[in-house]
Structure 1
Amino acid sequence: MIVPLLFVMATAFTAGNTLRFPPEGFSTRWFGAALANEPFVSALFGSLQLAFLATLLALLIGVPATLAIHRGRLPGKALVEGLFLSPLVVPELVLGLALYQQLVIGLRMDNFQVLLLGHTVLLLPYAVRVTGASLALVDGQVEEAARGLGASPLRAFLTVTLPLLRPGIFSAGLLAFITSFNNVPLSLLLQSFEFRTLPVTMLDYVQQNYNPMVAAVSTLVLAATVLVAVLAERTVGFARIFGGINQ
């Protein structure tokens, strides 16, 4: 999986005018060209906006759902959890086509609203599963002790449970954000001419051009993703959170 990425990164530093390996000399001019390309820059900010909003909505829905599934007296917990995890097994093209037919065509909703809804649904499994793994590592007696000392359920959650869940929520948000930012199938079906995401813009560019600019954009996105992941590992620790998934 890593070797193809190395080829893309090497091609991004070529001095030639076409995508070719081995690269023809060494140059960083394609990175400058990518950063000066208005469609790429506009699509970048659009993808960041969409990923941020979809991640926020997924966490606002997924975290309370996780608490209800694992700590509440919710009837049919397994069925509810399976419903939240179902987007993992439903093909994204099927989900995107259903949203397009029912909401865009049927109800004439705005494309961005439907796209945001689709990304939120797609990210819910990350919010529920990763937050649930973090919750499995939390000793429930700590929250019970807070309630026994007179704290209300809301205060016990805000002062005890939420700080303990913070690493899991952060990890879930990070995974959800990266998933939304890099999504192609759903964005390809639901985006409009006024709003375009970076991955789809890159796909369109490759179909019409054969220069290394798209390799430079891919390298920049990859570098940013690795940097965020490394910082998150040092500050939160993915190994501890993901270790709770098997519990």
Structure 2
Amino acid sequence: MKTSRPVAASLAVAGYIIMIVPILFVVATAFTGGRTLRFPPEGFSLRWFEAALNYDPFVSALLSSLQLALIATVLALLIGVPVTLAIHRGKSLVEGLFLSPLIVPELVVGLALYQQLMIGLRLDNFPVLLIGHTVLMLPYAVRVTGASLALADPGIEEAARGLGASPLRAFFTVTLPLLRPGIFSAGLLSFVTSFNNVPLSLLLQSRDFRTLPVTMLDYVQQSYDPMVAATSTIILAGTVVIAVIAERTVGFARIFGGINR
């Protein structure tokens, strides 16, 4: 099959190779029977997966990451859905405000939260970290949910209002079902992004509350065994499962097709 854009196709293939090959190296190393991170692997073993699942700091950090990502995702959706409706009604200034965290570096956001909330207001680490993750997830909630709304027929809600439905009833019976695929996709994307976040979590975490990616980073600085590779493989497998469920349930192509509208 020939393509009319050979340069673009070649660059796309090169990009995929650059992204995928290092991941394959990490996955292969996770199954090594050796004691150090080496490629090619020394034999085949599941010992490092067992070690990762029994390592208390990783297990504790996993629960912390799940808790943080879940709460931040819920808060981002609770804020993002009304914002999406406001944007859909023509308030473009609101859109720029809530999409701005995509432009500002995460370390800048973290430093601002650290200075203003942790030092200025003396808040604990977890509330500040939760605020930071929620702020970072808002663009995903607004943009993906907005894409779902862009695919819907705006006349449906107007028809419901014309038939006598109140604004609140029209929202719950018409608008919210239309937004459901986008909310589902935005929730999954926000959850995975929050769970894997490093810069903000590294800056705002405390000794009592540590996320899994940061704990893994600290472990790599002290040890060079394949347990981190095994943990990364488990996280990768979980992310793939979530992506497959989302594709089978909603369909990313259908949702993200509305982003350019």
TM-score bracket for this pair, using the shorter chain length: over 0.9
Question: Residue 109 of structure 1 corresponds to which residue in structure 2?
Answer: 123
* Residue in structure 2 matching 1:4, options 22, 26, 40: 22
Question: Residue 200 of structure 1 corresponds to which residue in structure 2?
Answer: 214
User: Does 1:142 pair with 2:156?
Assistant: yes
Report Cα offsets for 1:190-230 as digits up to 9, x if no partner.
01000000000000000000000000000000000001100
**Moved runs in structure 1, 4+ residues, more than 6 A?**
none
Question: Residue 186 of structure 1 corresponds to which residue in structure 2?
Answer: 200
Q: CA deviation at 1:45?
A: 0.5
Question: For 1:231 and 1:198, how far apart are their aligned partners in 2?
Answer: 23
Question: Residue 134 of structure 2 corresponds to which residue in structure 1?
Answer: 120
User: Is the CA contact 2:86–2:94 (under 8 Å) kept in the aligned structure 1?
Assistant: no
Question: Residue 84 of structure 1 corresponds to which residue in structure 2?
Answer: 98
* Residue in structure 2 matching 1:65, options 83, 92, 108: 83
So what's the TM-score if we normalise by structure 1? 0.97
Structure 1 residues 6-21: aligned runs within 5 Å: 6-21=24-39
User: Is the CA contact 2:140–2:189 (under 8 Å) kept in the aligned structure 1?
Assistant: yes
- Consecutive unaligned residues of structure 1, counting only runs of 5 or more, are none
Question: Residue 34 of structure 1 corresponds to which residue in structure 2?
Answer: 52
So what's the TM-score if we normalise by structure 2? 0.92
Q: Secondary structure at the match of 2:44?
A: coil
Question: Residue 14 of structure 2 corresponds to which residue in structure 1?
Answer: none
The letter of the residue matching 2:111 is L
Q: CA deviation at 1:78?
A: 2.1
CA RMSD between the two structures: 0.7
